[in-house]
Copies of this chain bind each other. A is one copy, B any other.
């Protein structure tokens, strides 16, 4: 209950502050990340050119680094932006997408971890284990070892999350069928969400954007990580809001008729 109170207070603060969240992220889910950031009440900015990332980070309240579709240019921009964020005490979240899959990504993540002070790391179990230096059964970015499938695996996950959090002095969130969130001391388990979510790309990236939004609202790293994970989990149900609106906009343009324009256009010549 106390956790819920902290989260709800942070949500209200987020919606009042509308923090700007700088994303340096992949091109596959960038649109979803921008929309989920707007949906929660924050303001996204995606910018990854080395010429402007410092300017963008400087005006932001949090920085989200996502390793999907990584390349060397974007990695350079991440390190530059992160250094600026550290200088200005702007919190940073790292989403180590597919870090167990290639040497390139593991080296990139290792470099970020060694050069940058992070507030939160969010990944699936394979990714967090790879970051911690364990071999993992990673297979791509969406298929991975899953928390909640057996007890001894879950105990190992809790151990790894806590150990990584202590090592980096950050909060770590492992998301999956169940989610674990820890700052190295306190450990939360979250049981929201739906198995179908693993069949939609970007649910992990969007969760990272939500955590970044809560960080940008001023939450401590543990509360922000917990708030992001539980918000994403609750979102597995169905309501009507900004997601439908995007669909409706495309529908309405398709159905636009001269009659619509004449009857519904509100044009005033001044």
Contact = CB atoms under 8 A, between A and B. Distances in A.
A171 interface: no
Interface of A: 1, 3-4, 7-8, 11-12, 18, 20, 26-32, 34-36, 38-40, 43-49, 51-52, 55-56, 59-60, 68-73, 98, 101-105, 139-143, 158, 186-192, 196-197, 199-203, 206, 210, 226, 230-258, 260-262, 264-270
A253 B235 contact: yes
A30 B260 CA distance: 26
Nearest to A23: B28
Contact of A4 (B18, B32, B267): B267
Given A234-B260, A265-B7, A72 B98 contact: no
B239 A255 contact: yes
Given A29-B31, A188-B267, A196-B242, 8 more contacts: A8-B261, A43-B143, A203-B249, A226-B267, A231-B256, A239-B251, A242-B253, A243-B247
A52 B67 CA distance: 12
A104 B51 contact: yes
B261 A237 contact: no
Given A3-B269, A247-B244, A261 B231 contact: yes
A49 B240 CA distance: 38
Nearest first, the 6 closest Cβ-Cβ pairs linking A and B are: A243-B250, A241-B254, A8-B258, A241-B251, A34-B201, A235-B252
A4 B38 CA distance: 33
Contacts of A237: 248, 252, 264
Contact of A261 (B11, B30, B47, B249): B11
A142 B268 contact: no
Interface-centre pick from A105, A142, A197, A226 (highest chain B CB count, 10 A): A142
A247 to B, nearest CB: 4
